[in-house]
Amino acid sequence: MEDFNDMIMNCNLIDIGFSSNNFTWNRAGQSQRLDRVLFNNDWVNVFNATKVVHLSRTLFDHSPLLINVNLNSASSNSHFRFQNMWLAHDSFINVIQNNWSAPVFPDDSIYGMRRLWAKLKRLKVVLNWWNKNVFKNIFSNIKEAEEKINVLEAYCQNDPTYVNFAVLKEAKLVLTNLQCQEETYWKQKAAIKFLAEGDNNTSYFHALVNKKRAIYDIYKIDRGDGTFTDNGDEIANCC
């Protein structure tokens, strides 16, 4: 069993959970969940609305497992979320300080909770703009940094001067900082709070995010009259 579990971990396979009966095997009054479906990260990325259903047993001891690949997953409106990785950016503190100290428009005389609410509302807009135009996409930033390092390494091979190596060293420090930001991003997305800062295993965090999304995604809902629907648009309207 230990070897089997090691194989699951080494292959980055994911158990996204199930619906219906808790057990898949029953004999002589004993019940266990012996059967399960495992997915790799590539599958969950493409078919993130996949669900596993334990069907009813008939003549056999084991329950059939139904894989439901729902391509009409309901979409939801995006909400503002503070990203912990922003804290590592050089300009973040200045953005917060400048916005918080600015007068409240159009009435700077408001106070108490109204003033706090107005500042937080404005700060949300500012951070959304800053994230899009200054911080930008963390994955694109990493790709650009890696490409820049490849070019600089070629320069150093052709012209191994102190200046070229100094520029290359600086570029590698930038990439290291971006990788730390990416790690922080996945830790926050996966709600991993029990791992210490510095653990660099982003593929593991990515798999946990996909597993969490697959487990909590709503793929069927009661209309309120006793009937169910799995239509994505109808689910979104009901929610």
Q: What is the mean pLDDT of the chain?
A: 81
- Taking a C-beta distance cutoff of 8 angstroms, is the pair 51, 216 a contact? no
Predicted local distance difference test score (pLDDT) of residue 152: 92
Specify the higher pLDDT residue, 103 or 75: 103
Name residue 222's beta-bridge partners.
228
Predicted local distance difference test score (pLDDT) of residue 13: 77
Predicted local distance difference test score (pLDDT) of residue 201: 61
What are the boundaries of each domain within the chain?
Answer: 2-74, 84-216
Tell me the C-alpha to C-alpha distance, in Å, between residue 202 and each of 80, 141, 171, 173, 192. 23, 16, 21, 19, 11
Predicted local distance difference test score (pLDDT) of residue 14: 77
Predicted local distance difference test score (pLDDT) of residue 40: 79
- Taking a C-beta distance cutoff of 8 angstroms, is the pair 210, 189 a contact? no
Name residue 20's beta-bridge partners.
54
Tell me the C-alpha to C-alpha distance, in Å, between residue 49 and each of 45, 55, 213, 228. 9, 19, 8, 17
Share of the chain above pLDDT 90, in %: 27
Predicted local distance difference test score (pLDDT) of residue 76: 45
Name residue 32's beta-bridge partners.
25
Q: Are strands 30-32 and 39-40 parallel, antiparallel or unpaired?
A: unpaired
Helix segments in the chain, DSSP class H: 2-10, 41-46, 92-101, 112-130, 138-158, 162-189, 202-216, 232-238
Q: Is the entire prediction scored with pTM above 0.85?
A: no
Instruction: Round to whole Å and give the CA distance between 236 and 239.
Output: 5
Predicted local distance difference test score (pLDDT) of residue 133: 87
Residue 173 has pLDDT above 90, yes or no: yes
For residue range 119-145, what is the model confidence (pLDDT) as tens digits? 998 999 899 989 988 999 999 999 999
Residue 6 has pLDDT above 50, yes or no: yes
